Structure 1
């Protein structure tokens, strides 16, 4: 059946005005064009919708039964169009973001505040997941974007860098390392103390081990955990020292820990946005990436 929305709108106009002349004006058609459109519609449907006379136009019984259905059809269509317009103009929509906990609890709130000042109607859900799980969620399409460390070459993943992060040593405020000054520490100095580390196969743990091995260094790991926040709490209770990305420094200070930059080697890793490499992004996701870029461009 070849019936257009324009024909249904014309039908509704004629039904409501009971006049081809008035209806033609409402739908911006000439009266002859409107008459042809209604005849074509009736031909497609297989029967008359209007009883026409020289003085009046009235709906046939079949036309009267069809009228409320057409009204609902056009209302639903208008709602679909309005909803799509609002989503594309970022006046409506939802966005799910995954972020590693160290980013979600430190830098992300300021980014979200700036984003919502521009797009207050977008509903946002934040999931805090470790880097390995975040990568999996992006690859499987369960989230549109995530913020994490550079995962390297991974199938179906695009990485947009935001900033470089380095490592800092963390230890209790009264520790010997705190009394030795505030300048950078060599990793070799950290290796002489009991160390609380991330569990393998953590990508951060692998990164540290690889760089230290190249310097013939190894950590004295006495405890392991799978969350940096847990590592920090263990250090705060005096179970050892550790090394965490500088991004975590505010969390460590909240636990009463001291931090010093680590050098020799200076281990760094890019932090950025992970998206699916073969799937288009929503307007909301694209706007969030722009906000993240803006945030770090201004720093």
Structure 2
């Protein structure tokens, strides 16, 4: 069976609709239907159940689709690698960053890239690791940089560690806690904490120190993937900001934010990593950006 037909099978498995899959592979619906029927006839297996609401893979289909997906992926990688080998030119790229890298080093990195390569187009998605992983697996971005502690083990992923980014808690100037030499976690939490989504390990440590029951949910006053938004909120009210030191260095130096010393709390830091698809050769521009990330190069 030719590769194009495998592509049709994978598209239908992903989209679960002949109409949507046909749009994805730029075919008419009847043409896609004929291609799937031909694939099933050639294999002697029914790959899909045609339900009333959506098309679902049969057990045989799931077995075949998993292998077809790898074939399609390898084919795209081969085409891309051949083109890179032929041209070896820097090209456009798209990648993702989590909230902490976006707030600490992204602006400086992108400014440097724009100065050095003004003719290159870059696309950066800022989000949590869950959504960035989805984009990576869909091959919509080449890599992403984020805290990798909660990243599920997956043989299709390759993770390169970056330096750790230490962080802490901060309040606005004039806050009731700002004059204290140290505060307890309970005192801090009573004012409401602003943070990105905390990794599972951090949530566990904080929940234990707060004396919460094992099955109790740790509550945040505001959870947001944009650290700049969190800073603005902290500067305008009495909530406590959790953030990496590098993200608030300017505000601390200007006396706008005050760091808190929290009694009994171990030092906290994010564990950043670069996540790529194993077996896929990054574009020259992607490799260049990765080489310039903090802790790389």
TM-score normalized by the length of structure 1: 0.57
Q: Say whether residues 1:209 and 2:208 are aligned partners.
A: no
Q: Who is 1:268 aligned against? A: 269
Residue 246 of structure 1 and its aligned partner are, at CA, apart by: 2.7
Q: Who is 2:229 aligned against? A: 230
RMSD: 3.4
Indicate if the aligned counterparts of 2:193 and 2:241 stay in contact, CA closer than 8 A: yes
Indicate if the aligned counterparts of 2:100 and 2:146 stay in contact, CA closer than 8 A: no
| Structure 1 residues 176 and 119: CA distance shift in structure 2, 3 A | same
Q: Distance in 1 between matches of 2:220 and 2:136?
A: 33
Residue 210 of structure 1 and its aligned partner are, at CA, apart by: 0.8
Q: Who is 2:193 aligned against? A: 196
Secondary structure of the residue aligned to 2:239 is coil
Q: Distance in 2 between matches of 1:84 and 1:206?
A: 39
| Structure 1 residues 120 and 145: CA distance shift in structure 2, 3 A | same
Q: Distance in 2 between matches of 1:86 and 1:122?
A: 19
Q: Who is 1:159 aligned against? A: 159
Q: Distance in 1 between matches of 2:220 and 2:160?
A: 36
Match of residue 130, structure 1, among 109, 115, 128: 128
Q: Distance in 2 between matches of 1:166 and 1:261?
A: 14
| Structure 1 residues 216 and 87: CA distance shift in structure 2, 3 A | same
Q: Distance in 2 between matches of 1:222 and 1:210?
A: 14
Q: Who is 1:171 aligned against? A: 171
Instruction: Give the structure with the higher percent strand.
Output: 1
Q: Who is 1:56 aligned against? A: none
Q: Who is 2:145 aligned against? A: 147
Q: Distance in 1 between matches of 2:95 and 2:233?
A: 29
Indicate if the aligned counterparts of 2:99 and 2:146 stay in contact, CA closer than 8 A: no
Q: Distance in 2 between matches of 1:206 and 1:130?
A: 14
Secondary structure of the residue aligned to 2:281 is coil
Count of matched residue pairs = 206
| Structure 1 residues 107 and 279: CA distance shift in structure 2, 3 A | same
Residue 173 of structure 1 and its aligned partner are, at CA, apart by: 0.7
Indicate if the aligned counterparts of 2:207 and 2:218 stay in contact, CA closer than 8 A: no
Indicate if the aligned counterparts of 1:167 and 1:267 stay in contact, CA closer than 8 A: yes
Indicate if the aligned counterparts of 2:97 and 2:145 stay in contact, CA closer than 8 A: yes
Secondary structure of the residue aligned to 1:166 is strand
CA deviation string 1:36-76 (max 9, x = no partner) = xxxxxxxxxxxxxxxxxxxxxxxxxxxxxxxxxxxxxxxxx
TM-score normalized by the length of structure 2: 0.57
CA deviation string 1:110-162 (max 9, x = no partner) = 22344455545432222222332222212222100111111433433222111
Q: Distance in 1 between matches of 2:250 and 2:134?
A: 26
Residue 270 of structure 1 and its aligned partner are, at CA, apart by: 0.9
Indicate if the aligned counterparts of 2:168 and 2:244 stay in contact, CA closer than 8 A: yes
| Structure 1 residues 132 and 257: CA distance shift in structure 2, 3 A | farther
Secondary structure of the residue aligned to 1:264 is coil
Q: Who is 2:286 aligned against? A: 285
Secondary structure of the residue aligned to 1:178 is coil
Indicate if the aligned counterparts of 2:97 and 2:125 stay in contact, CA closer than 8 A: yes
Indicate if the aligned counterparts of 1:249 and 1:259 stay in contact, CA closer than 8 A: no
CA deviation string 1:86-120 (max 9, x = no partner) = 95142xx1011211244234312222344455545
Indicate if the aligned counterparts of 2:103 and 2:228 stay in contact, CA closer than 8 A: no
> Which blocks of at least 5 consecutive residues in structure 1 are unaligned?
1-82
Residue 188 of structure 1 and its aligned partner are, at CA, apart by: 5.0
